Amino acid sequence: MNPIPFGFFVAGLIFDAVYARTGEILWDNSAAWLIAIGLLFAVVPRLINLVQVWITSRRAALASDKLDFWLNLLAIFAAIINSLVHSRDAYAVVPAGLWLSACTVILLCTANVVVAVQGARSAGGLYA
């Protein structure tokens, strides 16, 4: 389920950028909805990851799994703050909403890269 919220947050970032450029309120409302729906889908994998990494297999969890968990959790917190920023009226959303959307996407991208590099190492790829 990790790709689903990532897509919603990237779309929210794009809509925030379009709203900052055009000023059309439709883009702001759409970005607010995308961020809210992305948050709904982002919480479930983190709960599963919480149980998997921190509770059931403390010894088997790798450092990259823990870093992935923390980066995703920080992205969720940034998205929650972003959702609160998007509840403001009209153009008051633009600077903070755009930066928080970018921060959320960057954190999720970094978490995905950490998981991909660890997968390449464990599969005996380039970094083995």
Joined tokens for residue 28: 């702001």
Question: Is 23 inside any structural domain?
Answer: yes
pTM of the model: 0.85
The candidate with the shortest Cα–Cα distance to 82, out of 3, 41, 28, is 28
Question: Is residue 42 included in any domain, yes or no?
Answer: yes
Is 128 inside any structural domain? no
User: Tell me, what's the pLDDT at 128?
Assistant: 47
Whether 17 contacts 112, CB under 8 Å? no
The reported pLDDT for the residue numbered 62 is 77
Dihedral of CA atoms 82, 87, 93, 95 in degrees, nearest 10, equals -20
Q: Which domain holds residue 30?
A: 3-121
- The answer for residues whose C-beta is within 8 angstroms of residue 32's C-beta and 6 or more apart is 83, 86, 87
Q: What is the pLDDT of residues 59-110, one digit of tens each?
A: 666 788 889 889 999 999 999 999 999 998 777 888 899 999 999 999 999 9
pLDDT band, very low/low/confident/very high, at 35 (cuts 50, 70, 90): very high
Q: Give how many domains the chain has, as a whole number.
A: 1
